[in-house]
Amino acid sequence: MHISEGVLSAPVLLTGAVLTATGVAVGLKKMKNEQLPLVGVLSSAFFVSSLIHIPVGPSAVHLVLNGLLGLLLGWVAFPAILVGVSLQALIFQFGGLTTLGVNTFNMAMPAILCYYLFARHISQDHPGVAMVLAFGCGFVAILLSAILVALSLIFTGESFVAAAKLLVVAHLPVMVVEAVVSALSLGFLMKVRPEILGVPHAT
């Protein structure tokens, strides 16, 4: 899901940087002190999930977990994902520093959208329904991220249209895997740490 250095046009890079800076500012403003341990754990999980990846054109296929982050963190997912993406770029050269804004936005914005679509309907009183919603959250988050990455490439130039289509198709299996992982993760957390859903969300 990372776009490499030297691929995107300057306007796309600038737009991504501005949007990410705005999202991170909102996320930091809404972050609660009691969320800090959860933010650290989820940011680490996001970072580790990308270690196994398969190159697909100018991007790569790998687990992301942005849906789960959005589900549990709301707008705070923006700074959490920025930290993970930054470490991935610095340590493993996934993506790059110039594409940091675009790569962060492409993964964090779907997390926020999924928060509003799914998180508010989750209740500890209905764990089965909660897992179904988490499944949908994981699937939709990757779908939206793949679409945003594709649009980033398309807005850079028509020569990337074929690669953009391939990228979306290549992520179809990842959408299903992410959906299952998100559902199982939420189900587990509701059993061992039910209070985790009681942490105030950013509205």
Give pTM, 2 decimals: 0.85
CATH number at residue 49: 1.10.1760.20
pLDDT tens, 85-94? 999 888 877 7
- Tell me which residue range forms the domain holding 47: 10-198
Furthest-apart CA pair in the chain: how many Å?
Answer: 50
Q: Are 78 and 86 in contact (CB under 8 A)?
A: no
| pLDDT score of 18 | 97
pLDDT tens string 104-131: 999 999 999 999 999 888 876 778 888 9
Structural domain includes residue 53: yes
Tell me how many domains the chain contains.
Answer: 1
State the pLDDT at residue 93: 79
